[in-house]
Amino acid sequence: MKRNVAFISTILLVLIIVGVAYARHELMIVPTQQLAFGHKTTMPMPQGGDLRQYIIGQEPYKNWKMWPGKEAFHKGTEPHGALLTVYVNDIALDSLSTRKGMGNNSIILKENYTPDKKLAAITVMYKVKGYNAEAGDWFWVKYDFDFNIQKEGKVAGCISCHSKASDNDYIFTGKIK
C-alpha cells in the first residue's frame, strides 16, 4: 500500500514537472515579432493562414470602414479587377486621418470584383514592423474568392509594381500624407 502511494506520488510529480515545463515552453515560443506589435497584442503573424483567421474570424473585415472617400465597387485598373472595395482596419484608418504615414499593424484589404460584381480575389497589405524594411514592411497576400492563399509574403510581383508608389508607402488608392 505504502509503495503504491509512493509510486502514484512520483508519477504525479513527474506529470506536474512536465506540465510546467510545457507551459513555460509555450510562453517562450511566442514570436518576438508578436511581442513587438505595439498597442495591439493580438495581431496575427505575417502569414496568410494566420491573417485569414484574423480577418474573417477574430476581427471580421466586413465590420471595418472602407477607405475614406472610396465607395464599394469603385472602378479599378489592371491587374486587380474592374470593381474594387477597399477596407482598412482601425489602425490604418487612424493613420489616414492623422496623415502621418501608415502605422505599424495597418491592414488594407481589397476585394476584387468582375464587372458583374462577382468576387474574384482578395488582396491584402499588412504592415509589420521589421518584416521587410526594404519595401515598407508590408506583408502581401492574395487569396482567391474563397480565401485560399494564392501568393503570400514578400511577393516580388506585388512589390515591383507597387514600388512605383514607394514615395506614398507603396499605396495607390489615395495619398497617405
Binding site for ligand HEC (CB under 6 A): 76-77, 79-80, 84, 86, 108, 110, 123-125, 140-142, 151, 155, 157-158, 161-162, 171-173
Q: Give the cell for residue 33.
A: 515579432
Quote the least distance from Cβ 111 to ligand HEC, whole Å.
Answer: 10
Taking the complex as a whole, how short is the minimal distance between the CB of residue 65 and ligand HEC, in angstroms?
14
Q: Which is nearer to ligand HEC, 43 or 108 (CB)?
A: 108
Task: Please report the sign of the dihedral spanned by the C-alpha atoms of residue 140, residue 144, residue 149, residue 151.
Answer: negative
**Cβ nearer to ligand HEC, comparing 45 with 125:** 125
- Write the CB contacts of 3 (distance below 8 Å, at least 6 apart in sequence): none
CB of 58 to ligand HEC, least distance (A): 19
CB count within 10 Å of CB 3 equals 7
Instruction: Judge contact between 103 and 93, C-beta under 8 A.
Output: no
Measured from the CB atom, the residue of 14 and 161 that comes closer to ligand HEC is: 161
> Which residue, 24 or 164, has its beta carbon nearer to ligand HEC?
164
Separation between Cα atoms, residue 7 and residue 90, nearest integer Å = 56
Q: Is the dihedral of CA 68, 70, 71, 77 positive or negative?
A: negative
Q: By C-beta, is 27 or 69 nearer to ligand HEC?
A: 69
Rounded to whole angstroms, how far apart are CA atoms 86 and 69? 10
Residue 88 CA to residue 110 CA, distance in Å, equals 9
CB of 31 to ligand HEC, least distance (A): 22
